[in-house]
Structure formats: C-alpha cells, structure tokens
Structure 1
C-alpha cells in the first residue's frame, strides 16, 4: 500500500460482493454456455504459469463501458437462480459477478469435472436487471465476468468470494464479511506505487467434501499458479493454499499469505470519538505464534503517518489479523455488525525459513479504507527469475486459532500519565493492558511480576488483579516517549520464571521533530 495513493475503498474494490439486487429472477434460463473440453490438472496449470512468467506481461482487456455500472447499478443486478452452477450441490452452488465500475477487466472462468476443463461464456441474459441498467451495454462481445461467489446451503448469501486483483474472502463462522486475503503482496507500504497482480483465470471444481479453486496469477513482475482447497469445518472456514510463482523482475518487498483489513479507531485512542459509534474496525490486533514458541499480540493503530513493523522470525507457527472484541456494546453497530467480523489466521505448511511478519498501518479518516496489511516476507532478496513453491492454511475464525495456556490480551487503553485523583502529567503517557485467562486465576499479587521493556523511559509499572474478575489482571505503565522516533514497548506477566501471558507489543507514534 502506497502511503500517498494506495489506500483503497472496500466499497470500490469489492463492490460486487454486495447482495446483487432485489428483483425477481426469470425461471427458465439455461446455465452459462460451456466451451470445448480440454485436459486440466494442477501440474499443467503450474507449467502454464511458468511459461507465462517467461513472456512479457500483457494487461487484461479493460471494458470502459463498465465504468457506468456504479455501486447502485450493481445492487440492482441479480444473477438468475436458473443460471447457477451446480445448484444441486448444497454449499457449492456458484454465481458469477458481472463487470462494474470497480472491476472492469474480464477474467476467464472455467468449470472442471473429471480432469476436463471448459470455459464459461458471458451473456447479459445470465442476469436480471432494470431496463435502463447501464450493464445492458455489456453485450456478450463486450462484457465478461469480474469474479464469482460460492453460495451457502439454501442459497441464502455466500460464504466465499473471489473478485478484484488477487483478492478473496469468506464470511467466516459468524456469517459477516470483513477483512480480505490476497494471493500476493508486492511493495506494500513503500513510498513507490504498490503492484497488484491479478488472478486472470479461474478453474472451479466441486468435490465430495471440498470446493477447489485454481487460479492463474499474472502481473508486471510475477506469474504463478494457485490452488485453494476450501472447506467449512465445524466453526471455521479453512483454505489449504498451494502456490508456485516465478518473478519476472526484482521485487523490493514480496509478501506471502497477505491479508488486508480496516482499523479506524478503537479503545486505544484517547480523546473524543470521530463517529457516534464507540469503535470501528474489522480487526483489532496482529497475533503471532513465532518459531521460538512465543505468542505475541500487537494492537492495531491508525497512525499519523504510514508505519511498518517487521517481526523477525524463523519458521513461524502462525500469524493473523484478529477481531478479538466480540461485544456488540463496544460497537453499537446494527448495520454492518463489526462484532461479527471474522479473524484470519495463516499457518505455514513446511519450512518457510527466515524472514519477517510485516505489519503495515496507513492513516485513514474513514471506515471504507483498507489501511492495514500483514504478510510474510522471506529474508532473502526477491530477484528476477526466482521461483517460490509454498503452502499454507488460512483459517477464518470467530474465536482464537488454538487453546493457548497463556492468558491473552483483552484490552489496551491509553491516556495521560499520573496517579488517579491527581493532576494529569501532560508529557507522560499511561498505558493500561488487561490480560485474561485461566493462567491468572487465583494468583496472589505478590507472586506475579510485570516485565516491561521499551526504548523510551518507564516511570512506573504495576500489575494487579482486577476487582471482581478472577481471571483478569491489569498491567499499568507510565512511559516517557522518545522524541524524534517511535517508542516501542513490550510487556507481560510472569510467575516463578514462567510466562503467564502473551507478550504484549505496542508502538507510540513519532513525536517531536520526527
């Protein structure tokens, strides 16, 4: 994400993911026409991708007439029930997104059955739309598909959608869309423009217990093949992702398993709220289970300027952008339900070696900007001709990725320093961190020690059990921030040399002449 120009509106990039219209469907339309059957396999797709990487990049065709199909026009279009793919497979029925203002490049979509693939042909007759809809100008010759969605059993809403560049997302177990994932991140958070490679073709294959999506990625500096094996397992959506990519040119910052979210404001920000709702965010923290066995929690921020934090690791166990606060009263939003937004957890499969989990935070003034990104960046420079073959698991959750024995961070609050009841110290920052979990239950105050480290100056630190909360403890810190650079803090609670809590991380923005 370019700090100057690459903040993007989720309404813009993912407008087609809205429910498409309220008009009745015509009952007697055939499904999309299918092209000639051709042999298809994962191995042949990888071969196709490698061959593509050796040729110059050719952008997708742009349909300028689609610019007239704005958000309202898209909402008045409905994919006809009779045109659905695999309507007799509950949870695997597919509907196709039309082109629109925010997705003007047609992508190829194929169906795969029995090792044979056939391309789908676009027709405006697949959609029910008003007579005056600008989408009627998108004829079979001029139009095309922007993406697809996989419907819930009963066809009430969808649980998986791919649309726009290499973006995809699921509604999670609480059935509410929020953050998104991407196939690849290139130069996210740099001062130079970010590159957005696209999934230019998809192959869709239903199965007995999984719905598989194959995709061909293409961009100015990369080409590659992706396989997503998608399942709904108990209370989470799981995607097994396998990729094989090759770089056409050097990349300064190459990000794998990237995820993109929105954080406007939350409990951490002091001062008056910017909206009538108490908090507005799709995610409230970055969780990392590093290769050394440490569990890190970093609350998200809406910084005054673009910030990059890189957490050095080797073979991480997992990382993700989480929405931990599930209390409706903390949002008071009965329209888009922020308390139901899914968390996304990435688990590497195999040896990922050395690198960093990168967190990019970009300033935003509203809730339609996806201003947060997290991804894995290998340590070795990404040079032209390099090939990467990786696998990982994405878990879309309503809770935590595992039952850790450590107490977790449940709140981070910031204000002016000093003792309650005494004049506030304007030049001192107070940070209050609440931990909760069985590891803290019935602990004596004298047995628990706070450990805090910072590149600023700690003036006071204390830990104590919260009244009437047997499993909750509070860590309170007064810190003098650095001038001219960011102030980093880390803290946690220990007993008898053993860690009781996650490691809490925080960053105070640059003050003074930074």
Structure 2
C-alpha cells in the first residue's frame, strides 16, 4: 500500500490538473451556468438602482458624456477587440457587473471616471458620484473591414437583455433580446435582465470574441454564451441554458424588436415628407427549400399573428429595400439598417413564429416583435442559434424575391367592378431569365372571390409585376392572400403572404 500511494497521489494530482485545465479551456460558460443554477433556487431580487441622482442626466446631457478614445479596454495590448463602457443616465439607472475572463479567472472591471470626458457637462459635477456609479452597458469595437481597417462599433448591450450589432457600412436599427417571456399575454410580459457579463480575453490574432452573460427575471435565470464574429456580415452564435424559478406560460426564443411606421403599402403617411420610414419591411420564414415573405404593415391598435411551422430552418425581420430615394432621410439612414436572420443550430421541433404589431405615430417607438415559440413550452430550456446582421439576403435564398408591395381598395383608375375589391400590386425580382412569363398562383384564405391575376414584365426592377384582386364577402373573419411565381410546376419565387387587415376591407 505504501509503495502504491505516491503513484495514486500522482494520478489524482494529474486528474485534478487536467480537470482544471479543461475547465479553463472551456471558458466562462460552465462558470456562468453554475451561477445561474444556484441563483434560480433563490427568490428574484431586482438589481437596486444606483444611489445617485441619474435623473439630472437628461438626454442632451447623456449625448455629451464622451468615452475617452484612449481608454478603451484592451487598447494597450493591441488586441483585435476593444471595449467601451456605458455611463448611467436618463432611464439607465440599474448597474451591471463586468468581468474580464482570463485563464479561468474572473477579474472585475470597475466603474471609474477615468473613462469619461465630462468637459461638456461640467455643471453636473458627475465626478463626485464616482463611488456610487456603475456601468449600464458596454460596446464592443472591432475591425469590420478587416485587419487593416479601423476600430468601429460592432455590438452594444444596454438595457434589460437588449443588444444591437452592425456589419460593415450598416447603421443601427432593430434590436435582439436574450429572451421574451409572456409577450403575447397582455399585462403579463416580463423583460429579463442581463445583470453580469464575463468577457474572455482574446488572443492577438483572434477573429472571434467569446463572452458570457447571466440572465435574471422573476420567472427564470439563464446562462448565455456569445461567440461574436464581426465583418461585412456580423454573426453571433448564442447558446442559452435556462433554469426556471416557476412555470412559464410562454417562452419567446430569439426575439427581435423593430419599428415600422409607414411604407409603400401604407394607407396613411401621417403628413410625413419621407415616403417610407421603417427599420424592417418584412418578416421572412424558411422551412427547408420553401421561403415566405410577409410584408409588414401598420395597425390601428394591436395585431398578433402566429404562423405554425413543422420544422423551422430560419426566420428574420428584414430590411430589404436599400434605395435611399425610398426613404429620403439623411439622418436616420433607414436604407442602411441591417436585417437580422435567425438560424437554429439544433432541432427546434414543432412550433410557430409569432409576430406582434402595435400602432405607432412616431418613428422613435419600436412596435414590431418577432420570435419563435416552441410547442414544447417550458420544457424547451436549451436554446442554440445564430444571428446574422445582413445587408443582403441569406446566401441559401436563391429563389425570386418580392421587392415591393402596394395595396389599394380605391377605384382610382375609374374602371367598373371595383366595389368591395382589394387590389395587390406585387413586384418580384432576382428570378432566372425566362423564355415565357411565369405563372402567378394566387390563393385567398378567406370568405370571398378572386379574379385571374395579371403578370407583367417590369424592367425597372428587372423582374415581374403581379396584379391580384380579391373580393371579400365579410370583414370580420381573418383573411390571407398568398402569391408565388412558378413555371407551371416548380417554384420560381418565394411565397408572398399578406394577412389582410380589417381596416383594408370594404366588403359590400
């Protein structure tokens, strides 16, 4: 026994060393999962507000608090990713905790006035509040144009579990969220918070940045691992493990939040000089080789739409229209705002894509929400997917695409037979060269009649225009019209799908 003891001790030491080494190599995720699981056994407690009068930091003040460019985190080490930290102010009153993760150790990143230039807000005397302040978010800077380009903002996290990202030459638009809870249940929605972040220190030649976050809400905790790959198209692989505190009625997976004020299909433009104002103009769905395009439209109050799907390949809120002339906004740059495409990285099974639309009379209010809802309900606790911030279409989408949707229920051309009619003018582009005009298949899911479609070549979009008319017999039941182009058998285009709003219906 005495002879074998040193060997056994050596084996134990080696085993422990290997275990610790493996844990360190796995990064922050195992640690954060442990923290989240332990926290789930405790009652929920909202992060306290900072003990400082942040209300005196108005919107104008906040814009004049500058992060010092020579203080970006990891700057001195010339790493491919750098960090800026968000100052408290306005409604950002709950601090988050930040840690730099290196060699299996979490090192706190603490608030300091050294990061900020207060020269334009001297009257607020913010320096005296340093001890009571904390960060409210952070930005990740990267070289979106490649190794020889300059550092620019790639991602920002601030507020609840919201975050936004940019690809090359894009401008901030729609947001993503870590999780949506009870979004479709009026008065019951929860907004989970990311309360802590661990950012793994990258190597000098790293092309990806890995970081983790702790999610917390009254109903659940969660651990999330992000893998950020910035570039022309910025991608983020996201893996979340949930630890529910109680039963959850609805879990919204990969939630996206956007704005649609008015567009080419709108009946009301609110006296706006801009032809279109939106961060996204359509919801796109992919199931295998089938693609569906649902144009967004404004609603008088509230609209909720659920699309059942057997096997989801992807979905996203897209900004397809890239023509500046269609927006005429030199400040908001709506034509340069990204789309976000969601791709499951595991089998999500049966479920539905949920689309929530709210009325707005302003372009500063987000009023569009889309997310995946699994039929497995709260048993769906492991979420793994990829987000892509695109300026173009997903590479897998090779069918023809809808580039414009126009709608009218008026007899503007004076022709007979218009009473009760809704007319759709839909332009398709990006189709293969055809010897003969395509066939337009129109399906009207509702109570009413249709007339044969008209297909016209449209050289201005290098594609085809479809004019379709439906005659609803009642306006109090759901109605949907779909159109796709075929060559008589095979699909040549995605399917255009329009849930007809009651406000558009004028049945006799």
TM bucket normalised to smaller: 0.7 to 0.9
Question: Map of 1:64-143 to 2, 5 A cutoff?
Answer: 65-87=53-75, 88-89=77-78, 91-130=80-119, 132-134=122-124, 136=126, 139-143=129-133
1:424: Cα distance to partner?
7.9
Partner Cα separation in structure 1 for residue 125 and residue 291 of structure 2: 50
CA distance in 2 between counterparts of 1:190 and 1:135 reads 44
Decide whether the 8 Å contact of 1:485 with 1:509 is kept in 2: no
Tell me the alpha carbon deviations over residues 136-190 of structure 1, each in whole angstroms, 9 at most, x when there is no partner: 1662331100010012447664111111000111122223110010000111133
Counterpart in the other structure of 1:319: 315
CA contact (8 A) 2:374 2:380 kept: no
Identify the residue that residue 45 of structure 1 maps to in structure 2.
32
Tell me, yes or no, if the aligned pair for 2:74 and 2:82 is still in contact at 8 Å: yes
Query: Cα offset for 1:304?
Result: 1.2
SS of 1:50's partner is helix
- Post-superposition offset of 1:44: 1.8
Partner of 2:398: 405
Q: Is the 8 A contact 1:149 1:160 kept in 2?
A: yes
SS of aligned partner of 2:502: coil
Q: Which has the higher helix share?
A: 2
Shift of the 387–348 alpha-carbon distance from structure 1 to 2, 3 Å rule, reads: closer
Preserved CA contact (<8 Å) 2:259 2:368: yes
Q: Give the conservation status (yes or no) of the 8 Å contact 1:452–1:492.
A: no
Inter-partner Cα distance in structure 2 for 1:145 and 1:221: 25
Change (3 A) 1:374 1:472: same
Structure 2 unmatched ranges of 5 or more: 1-22, 144-148
Match of 1:196 among 166, 191, 195: 191
1:442 paired to 2:431 = no
Counterpart residue number, 2:347: 351
Cα separation, partners in 2 of 1:85 and 1:510, compared to 1, 3 Å: same
- State the match for 2:17 in structure 1: none
Report what 2:491 is aligned to. 499
TM-score computed with the length of structure 1 as normaliser: 0.86
- Partners of 2:80 and 2:55 lie apart in 1 by 32
Is the CA contact (8 Å cut-off) linking 2:442 and 2:484 kept in structure 1? yes
Q: 1:213 aligned to 2:208?
A: no
Deviation at 1:336, TM superposition (A): 1.2
Pick aligned residue for 1:182 from 172, 177, 184: 177
Structure 1 counterpart SS, 2:49: coil
Alpha-carbon distance in structure 2 between the residues aligned to 1:443 and 1:357: 37
- The 8 Å contact of residues 450 and 475 in structure 1, kept in 2 or not, is answered as no
Give the paired residue count: 470
Q: Offset of 1:93 from its aligned partner?
A: 1.0
Q: Deviations over 1:254-303 (max 9, x none)?
A: 10111110000000013555311110000000011025x32110001111
| Structure 1: stretches of 5+ with no match in the other structure | 1-37
Q: Does 1:245 align with 2:236?
A: no
1:463 and 1:473 in contact (8 A); partners too? no
Calculate the TM-score normalised by the size of structure 2.
Answer: 0.87
Distance 1:273 1:474, change over 3 A: farther
Q: Cα 1:380–1:426, aligned 2, differ >3 Å: closer, same or farther? A: same
Equivalent position of 1:11 in the other structure? none
- Please state how far the C-alpha of 1:398 moved relative to its aligned partner: 0.5
In the aligned structure 1, how far is the partner of 2:426 from the partner of 2:122? 56
The equivalent of 1:257 in structure 2 is: 254
- 2:144 paired with 1:144: no
**TM-superposition CA deviations, 1:471-508 (whole Å, max 9, x none):** 41122122224322332221212223211111111112
The structural deviation recorded for 1:134 is 3.4
Partners of 1:420 and 1:71 lie apart in 2 by: 49
Worse overlay, 419-428 or 409-418: 419-428
Cα pair distance change 1:358/1:470, threshold 3 Å: closer
Alignment of 1:276 onto 2:269? no
Q: Distance in 2 between matches of 1:300 and 1:186?
A: 23
Query: What SS does the corresponding residue of 2:325 show, helix, strand or coil?
Result: helix
Moved over 6 A (4+): none
SS at match of 2:35: helix
How far does the alpha carbon of each residue in 1:101-128 deviate from its partner, in whole angstroms, 9 at most, with x for none?
1210000001112221101111223211
Encode CA deviations 1:173-216: one digit per residue, 9 max, x unaligned.
Answer: 22311001000011113312421110000011242121112100
Distance 1:322 1:79 in 2: 32
Measured on the aligned residues, the alpha-carbon RMSD in Å equals 2.4
- Are the counterparts in 1 of residues 275 and 326 from structure 2 also a CA contact under 8 Å? yes
- Which entry has the higher C-alpha Rg, 1 or 2? 2
Q: Flag the 1:444–1:479 CA change in 2: closer, same or farther, 3 A.
A: same
